[in-house]
Structure 1
């Protein structure tokens, strides 16, 4: 038993390690092919990460990525591919910002209303894909991609000044109006102009603990994992597979809706045209790299946040900031290839062990027959 656990641990770590090592090597080769120094950009990013203000940015971005990746991971554990996290995240941020700016409530209640609206909006948008899958058999990949496009258009329409948008004087930007201070989530001021760590970042980490507990220590989590492993087997054991699919999509969307809360409640206090986009797509890679485990997802989110924020001064040193995008893209490819190689190796290893056990059993039987 201990031997099997050790093998699982090694195989579980082999995927991410192989992906990171191979992505680093490939990045170096790409930089060499373009005539750039392959080491100095990485050194510069490591040096930048030593500054307190960059560290705050990295921590804040980690919280955002962590929430979005947890949303993706819930779908993955259910064998669902929720590509719509980005649309759910943006629509939820938009609607919750509209509601937050239009009401006046005491501090904690104001924040609670905004958070609940974000969760409900994200759950509603992902629930559409869940209903289509459970009632019509529509692939969640297709429906969530289309819902992303619809969400983009819907947000663009809602933020128009003739609808719910506000255009600040002398600006081409459009916003939803500013949320009053009672709706701001308090953070930790690092002082000396180093910025503020979003308070919602700690909520994100707490949700990671909740995610682990629900999946590994509750009946619901067992049913979810069982359905993801084999829908027919789960149904045979009494689990309502369609209900689990819909519930998983709703939970995934609710977490996706929370992904915008660190920025909305901690910094911008409004939704505008320059609100961060693409978070949901990056979260897919983070969830894959982290193997859908809350600890693995955290370190993967930290890595991508580092690549995003520590590269801010590369252009001033003569290196294009797009280097980080190349690195992230290579990581995506490396994750897919590495995990497939590890999966195939694990399968061969398992077959080999079964063969060894059968051979050992046959040898024991032969010895007994001889002694008889």
Structure 2
């Protein structure tokens, strides 16, 4: 039994390791083929990460990515592909920013209200895809992609000054208005006034909650069982349709929290410059981290490092898009490496079964000869 666990552990680590090595090797090949020094850009990025302000930026960005990846991972464990995290997160951030700016409450209550609105909005938007999947059998991939587009259009419409948007005089930016200071989440100040978003620690704490619920509760067992085999789960008394709905609602609620570190920790408003594509980055991180909270944590740090450290490439005469190339190659490498590891795992398992059968047959033959 211990040997089998060891094999599983090695196979689990082999996928991410192979993906990262392949991605960085391919990046260096692409740079060399383009006539660019393949090593110096990576050295510059590592040097950038040695500065304290860049480290804070990486940690804050990792918290945002971590929440997005957790939302995706919840769907993955249920065998659902929630591509709509980006739309769910942006719509939740916008709605919670509007209500947060319109209401003034005592500090903790104000923050809790904003967070609750964000979770409910994200859950509602994901729940639409959940209903379509559970009641009509509509693929969540198709519905969540469409809901992303609808969310983008809806946000643009709601941000118009004639609706909920606010346009300051002399500015082309549209915002939802400033949230009162009572709705700001306390930050951890380090160094020369540098701040780590307080909600970043909440994000990482949710990883512990995610692990506990998934591995130590009946709901988590039902979710994993339904994701592994819906028919088998139904045969054991699990309501698969209910699990689909519940999983999408929880995934959407966590997606709704993705914008909270930035909204409550820095911007205190939703505007046209609010980050796009965070939900899609979360898919990469969840895949690279194999849907495990620890793996997702290190994957979020890696992607955040590439994001923030690559910003210093411009000053050294290199295109910062090198970081984008690296992220894209990681996505491709993850898909390919995991498939290779999966096939190797199957062959390895078949080989071990064959060896055990051969050993059993040999023992039986020896006993017959002795008899």
TM-score, normalised with respect to structure 1 = 0.99
Deviations 1:101-152 (A, max 9, x none): 0001000000000000000000000000000000000000000000000000
Q: Do structure 1's residue 199 and structure 2's residue 202 form an aligned pair?
A: no
Q: Residue 160 of structure 2: SS of its match in structure 1?
A: coil
In 1, distance between residues paired with 2:260 and 2:363? Answer: 63
Deviations 1:190-219 (A, max 9, x none): 2424x2100000000110000000000000
Counterpart for residue 222 of structure 1? 221
Q: Residue 320 of structure 1: SS of its match in structure 2?
A: coil
Question: After the TM superposition, which residues 62-77 of structure 1 pair with which residues of structure 2 at under 5 Å, given as runs?
Answer: 62-77=62-77
Counterpart for residue 53 of structure 1? 53
In 2, distance between residues paired with 1:357 and 1:139? Answer: 42
Give how far 1:36 is off: 0.6
Deviations 1:214-237 (A, max 9, x none): 000000000000000000000000
Give how far 1:286 is off: 0.2
Q: Residue 154 of structure 1: SS of its match in structure 2?
A: helix
Counterpart for residue 13 of structure 1? 13
In 1, distance between residues paired with 2:48 and 2:191? Answer: 18
In 2, distance between residues paired with 1:159 and 1:180? Answer: 19
Q: Do structure 1's residue 274 and structure 2's residue 281 form an aligned pair?
A: no
Q: Do structure 1's residue 333 and structure 2's residue 328 form an aligned pair?
A: no
Q: Do structure 1's residue 308 and structure 2's residue 307 form an aligned pair?
A: yes
Give how far 1:371 is off: 1.8
Give how far 1:369 is off: 1.5
Q: Where in structure 1 are there 5+ consecutive unaligned residues?
A: none
Give how far 1:46 is off: 0.6
Counterpart for residue 117 of structure 1? 117
Q: Where in structure 2 are there 5+ consecutive unaligned residues?
A: none
Counterpart for residue 104 of structure 1? 104
Deviations 1:272-299 (A, max 9, x none): 0000111000000000000000000000
Question: After the TM superposition, which residues 150-229 of structure 1 pair with which residues of structure 2 at under 5 Å, given as runs?
Answer: 150-193=150-193, 195-229=194-228
In 1, distance between residues paired with 2:209 and 2:282? Answer: 19
Counterpart for residue 234 of structure 1? 233
In 1, distance between residues paired with 2:302 and 2:160? Answer: 36
Give structure 1 regions of 4+ aligned residues with deviation exceeding 6 angstroms.
none
In 1, distance between residues paired with 2:75 and 2:166? Answer: 36
Counterpart for residue 4 of structure 1? 4
Counterpart for residue 127 of structure 1? 127
In 2, distance between residues paired with 1:156 and 1:125? Answer: 16
Q: Residue 128 of structure 1: SS of its match in structure 2?
A: helix
TM-score, normalised with respect to structure 2 = 0.99
In 1, distance between residues paired with 2:244 and 2:307? Answer: 33
